[in-house]
Copies of this chain bind each other. A is one copy, B any other.
Amino acid sequence: MLAVTILGNNSALPAFDRHPTSQVVTLNEHLFLVDCGEGTQMQIAKYRIKRSRIHHIFISHLHGDHYFGLMGLITSMGLLGRDHELHIFAPPALEQLIDLQLKAGGTLLPYSLIFHPLEEGILMQEDKFEVSCFKVFHRIDCWGFIFREKKPPRKLDGEKIKEYNIPTSFYEQLRWGKDYTTTDGVSISNELLTDVSPKGKSYAYAADTIYNESIACKVTGVDLLYHETTYLDELRERAAKRFHSTTVEAANIANIAKVNKLLIGHFSSKYEKLDEFERETRNVFPNTDLAIEGVTYRI
């Protein structure tokens, strides 16, 4: 199961009860927190996210609306008696900021905080999923993240397996494409016994970025792409000046990258209503949803 729950969908200035950026990615039993704007710990409580199940936090860049809630969350986790280690993947400069603030408060966390400075490539590699990181184009260093389920390439064909009397101990090897050799030395082709597996689901979070088509190459074919749309199309010059994107630009990236679905957010505080964001983006890329706080988008 891969899904994303929106905790904050607004740009820097909180407004209209919209909060700065934060999302929770659910990948099977794992919860990953992506960005952590001010108030994230309150949003986590409001939407009943199990914070004890968050073991990995990813911070895209060091503009405050993406990380000013991190220290509050970290210290609250400590007050709640957390003992499981917590991994933070973030721009290198954040490590010192965390250390200094813990020191200023005389705070000794009851759990291990493990800091991983961001760089492009694979951040986490597990049996069933991987998380990777790519550069986007913002006023300061900024990274996006891709969460990808891994699946064995082949799916067992129940009837054929019975027919050829394959022992269960060989099933896993079948899933990974191996041919079976009977005790008589007869080889049975894997393709006879299995079908192609549906591929693992994937979610890409493109953080804050100016329009740049090279992002499309980095997120090609993902099932769900989150791309910021700070502004409507008419403000595309302002968007570029501030290293942000518009509705039409996000939709263009989704089209070029041939993603299945697009999720848009990071709305400017200029806008109270969001309908026009949906309309403009869907004009160019129909399978688009607005990122709404408290809503979970299943992939």
Contacts and interface: CB of A to CB of B under 8 A. Distances in A.
A185 interface: no
A39 to B, nearest CB: 5
A62 B105 contact: yes
A209 interface: no
Nearest to A102: B64
A186 interface: no
Can you tell how many copies of this chain the complex includes? Answer: 2
Contacts of A97: 97, 100-101, 104
A70 to B, nearest CB: 9
A79 B39 contact: no
A12 B76 contact: yes
Given A38-B39, A79-B12, A105 B63 contact: yes
A79 B19 CA distance: 16
20 contacts: A13-B79, A13-B80, A14-B41, A14-B45, A20-B72, A38-B41, A38-B68, A39-B42, A62-B101, A62-B104, A62-B105, A64-B101, A68-B68, A68-B71, A68-B72, A93-B104, A94-B104, A97-B104, A100-B100, A106-B139
Interface of A: 12-15, 19-20, 38-39, 41-42, 45, 62-65, 68-69, 71-72, 75-76, 79-80, 91, 93-94, 96-97, 100-101, 104-107, 139-140
